[in-house]
Structure 1
């Protein structure tokens, strides 16, 4: 029996807002008396259930037999999608344009060729204005079909004009796809491995990136061509740890939307993603004043939305809370930052069906880091274990690795060092399987293996020695990657000076402002 987390019809019903439910009842009621429509009765039953339960549905709606349930659910699913399509058409210009293509097909099938051509021409012009060449190309293909088969309004040169329009649209669509493929490829690589681990890694990625963009010229490109071009560069420079260049292209991404205010509404998710990547670049550059200004812009945009889609709501939650936590890290206000936890954890549960595993892993790591910085080491271990216990380590290998390193340090801080040697060996083997050992990690392993044998005076000297070794390692740009995930230097300074780590980071933040 399907459960509430996997049954797609139940998930869709439970996701509906009050106004979407009201629209669905009106949308479906025209098909017959509401009491005679079994799928509506099934809808009411599903809407009232806290979790999917077939037996309970059959008891509540005796008119539905078990053998009918699968077909009724399929019918209900189609009806729900049709209702949602109509309800959200006003917010989605691509739905409206495809609807016009459907109308042109209806007119064509009825033999009203001139009317169909007028509808297609209108659709084509709107698609061009909205930077949607694939829709314009679909309209052109249909237009050519009608012009080739029937004597309509064809004038001298009409065939050549249509062919030229089609060639231009095909070229634009092809370049869009080329650029979006490069952007997606870079993003997929980042999800898998994070930042480049060595100069050889960076050189291989650079060669792949340059080859993928060979021959591309966006100087005359449309909105989406430039957007994908900027996206590809943002991910490329993120992977190769060139955060200044990443900042420049993230700013170009945001500027593209700022210069086209209509696109901020039509493609709100892409605009929000641009702000998110700009914030990530600013965070990596420790550019606090600009970071705060952009975060305020993101929150302002979210507050001004009258009816955000569920997708956009999830993205706004994810990005706003991610960067609120990042602001806490920059400021060193870990204890005060715990005030974010009740609302964050509540929303994590609320949005769990829409949050993919990658995003949950990122949140778990940030939450663990927040608890670690505030001295709540057992809570940090709890969230780190949620990452460590995930079996598929091909997703965000970087977070998988550094969660284990931070977990070792959290166990040491929590005084749970009786199993530390075993855990160190386990993590070392794990990193070995991923070919992930870096100098920082090796030095931490060496330190933790001997720390239990040191006297208090020796311990302080060992902390100082480890800090000096790590500072020397961090001078290598490809050994700097671990420090993006774990501010081990601030932790060591807190041990050396016998201060809370957040006090050390607050002192550093004072120097940033």
Structure 2
């Protein structure tokens, strides 16, 4: 129990994680920041910083025994150090994005206003407002206009009548735009929440429910009046609805609109790199779902070019997202083309990055990567390695992953055990899988059909096995384009595996033949 608590503290201590996230330049700046004021270099908070910086794991007992601080004072000292680190980071030029710059100008203008220097304050506010409007930061722009109204009511000028009308109209327009954006962003987030909680729609009732939910919450709007920000949230909301309803052509449509909204406004890639990266990932995923190989390769190549040429701003946040999205879609490329063995080099890269980002990469995304690596090894015919990566998912405790992924990890595990000829283990896997599936609500027909079918293979005579595979293939093929069942084939290409058994060919060869037939 004590070991578990210690491990949990290492992972959850915010101060320790923040210190470990600092780059060399950020640490250097903090040292300079602390040294600016006499006495700070000898301060306890700085001693605590230097101590934690050298530690590999967070250990409260070693902090106390170091003599830096008593147990009673530790909490307050940590809070003070945390605040000083944030102040230092805020001053770092690398973190001076547009929003911080605008906010800084607003803060300066507020100070000048409080000193009664109205004219100087208004001048700064006008500059900050122009920056805010140019960069679609309309929430801050509204705050600025509200402060301008307050100052104008005290600083009397000859143009006060005109100025009052101008500010009133501008405040009203910004308020309306912010309300629309808020409603669209709320709708987008609510749909995303539904997807995480319940997954894709499973029947006509759920399909109707999602569409009614969307229509009831979509605000009335005039598209011609939309700026970049409003369009972005509109496309996001439509994308989440299409993902929920498994309309992957619509997913492609809105992900494409999302990405090319940035292409038409390239400065916003610098201002909102996270939104651009997410849009790029959804576009690649949609192309993977609808199996548009050529366009997928084109977009992935472009993504790689943007990364290599630093066209997407690099920071700790974007570095993590670039790793996840780039490597995930590199795996998808090999799944699409059946070139599994050619993608094996990605495994070491991914594992190295998972270790590097261990303090910041959540279990959900680690699990997704492990499942995709398992699929890569399965496609290569390396079934024991496939089982090794699936066991990380199946045996993990308190893993917050969608039931679909959990289910298909177990289904793939059954297939891999079957391929390895592990009959004893296979029977145990059947029991464990059925036990898990009983807990699931609305189990898919594909899942039911497949698991019952594969279990029956143990009773089939060897000379009849190919005929049995054909029967299973026929029963599952009808679900391939089913509106609610097709998602099963996004997680695991069961049909290609069955075809590989029927035709006695490697699964990679089956997929390559399909790519040639599609001619895409």
TM-score range, shorter chain: over 0.9
Separation of aligned partners in 2, 1:168 and 1:358:
41
Matches of 2:183 and 2:298, distance apart in 1? 34
Which of residues 229, 242, 246 in structure 2 aligns to 1:224? Answer: 229
Contact 1:194–1:239 (CA<8 Å) still a contact in 2? yes
Question: What is residue 111 of structure 2 aligned with on the other side?
Answer: 106
Offset at residue 66 of structure 1 (A): 4.0
Moved more, 249-258 or 372-381: 372-381
Q: Matched residues in 1 for 2:349 and 2:269: separation?
A: 27
User: In the alignment, which residue of structure 2 is the partner of 1:182?
Assistant: 187
Which residue does the alignment assign to 2:3?
Answer: none
Partner of 2:419: 413
Match of 1:455 in 2: 461
Q: Which residue, out of 364, 368, 389, partners 1:362?
A: 368
Residue 442 of structure 1 and its aligned partner are, at CA, apart by 1.9
Residue 220 of structure 2 aligns to a residue whose secondary structure is: coil
Offset at residue 34 of structure 1 (A)? 5.1
Q: Residue 404 of structure 1 corresponds to which residue in structure 2?
A: 410
Q: Does 1:161 align with 2:166?
A: yes
1:305 maps to what in 2?
A: 310
1:170 and 2:175 matched: yes
Distance 1:88 1:362, change over 3 A: farther
> Do the aligned partners of residues 13 and 452 (structure 1) sit closer, same or farther apart at CA in structure 2, a change above 3 Å counting?
same
Q: Which residue of 1 aligns with 2:35?
A: 29
CA contact (8 A) 1:91 1:266 kept: no
Q: In the alignment, which residue of structure 1 is the partner of 2:379?
A: 373
CA spacing shift, 1:421–1:199, aligned 2, 3 Å: farther
The answer for the alignment partner of 2:388 in structure 1 is 382
Find runs of 4+ consecutive structure 1 residues off by over 6 angstroms. Answer: none
Coordinate RMSD, CA, aligned = 2.1
| Matched position secondary structure for 1:139 | helix
Task: State the TM-score, normalizing by the size of structure 2.
Answer: 0.93
Instruction: Identify the match of residue 468 of structure 1 among 470, 474, 492.
Output: 474
**Distance across 2 between alignment mates of 1:210 and 1:417:** 52
1:75 to 2:80 alignment: yes
Deviation at 1:161, TM superposition (A): 2.3
Q: Distance in 1 between matches of 2:473 and 2:156?
A: 82
Per-residue displacement from partner, 1:133-163 (whole Å, max 9, x unpaired)? Answer: 1001111121222233454566223323222
Q: Which residue of 2 aligns with 1:494?
A: 500
Give, in whole Å, the separation in 1 of the partners of 2:165 and 2:421. Answer: 79
Comparing 376-385 and 41-50, the one that deviates more: 376-385
TM-aligned CA deviation for residue 196 of structure 1: 2.1
The answer on 1:141 being equivalent to 2:143 is no
In structure 2, the partner of 1:436 is 442
**Cα distance, 1:77 vs structure 2:** 0.8
Structure 1, unaligned runs of 5 or more? none
The change in CA–CA distance for 1:417 and 1:251 in structure 2 (over 3 A counts) is same
Post-superposition shift, 1:425?
Answer: 4.5
Alignment of 1:346 with 2:358, yes or no, is no
- Match of 2:471, SS state, is helix
Distance 1:179 1:6 in 2: 33
Q: Could you tell me how far 1:492 is from its partner in structure 2?
A: 0.5
2:252 is matched with: 247
Tell me, what secondary structure is at the counterpart of 2:406?
helix
- Kept in 2, the 8 Å contact 1:198–1:479? The answer is no
Q: Distance in 1 between matches of 2:360 and 2:489?
A: 31
How many angstroms does 1:422 deviate by?
4.9
Aligned-partner Cα distance in 1 for 2:70–2:424: 60
2:210 counterpart residue number: 205
**Paired position in structure 1 for 2:44:** 38
Distance 1:59 1:473, change over 3 A: closer
2: CA distance between counterparts of 1:374 and 1:205? 39
* CA deviation after TM superposition for structure 1 residue 173, in Å: 0.5
**Aligned pair in 2 of structure 1 residues 72, 374: CA closer, same or farther (>3 Å)?**
same
Q: Which residue of 196, 201, 205 maps to 1:196? A: 201
Distance in 2, Cα, partners of 1:266 & 1:393: 34
Q: Is the 8 A contact 1:193 1:395 kept in 2?
A: no
Equivalenced residue count is 512
The equivalent of 2:60 in structure 1 is 54
User: How is 1:329-340 mapped onto 2 (pairs within 5 angstroms)?
Assistant: 329-340=335-346
Compute the displacement of 1:213 (Å).
Answer: 1.3
Structure 1 stretch displaced more, 94-103 or 196-205: 196-205
CA–CA separation in structure 2 for the residues paired with 1:442 and 1:6: 40
Cα distance in 2 for partners of 1:122, 1:417 equals 73
Partner of 1:270: 275
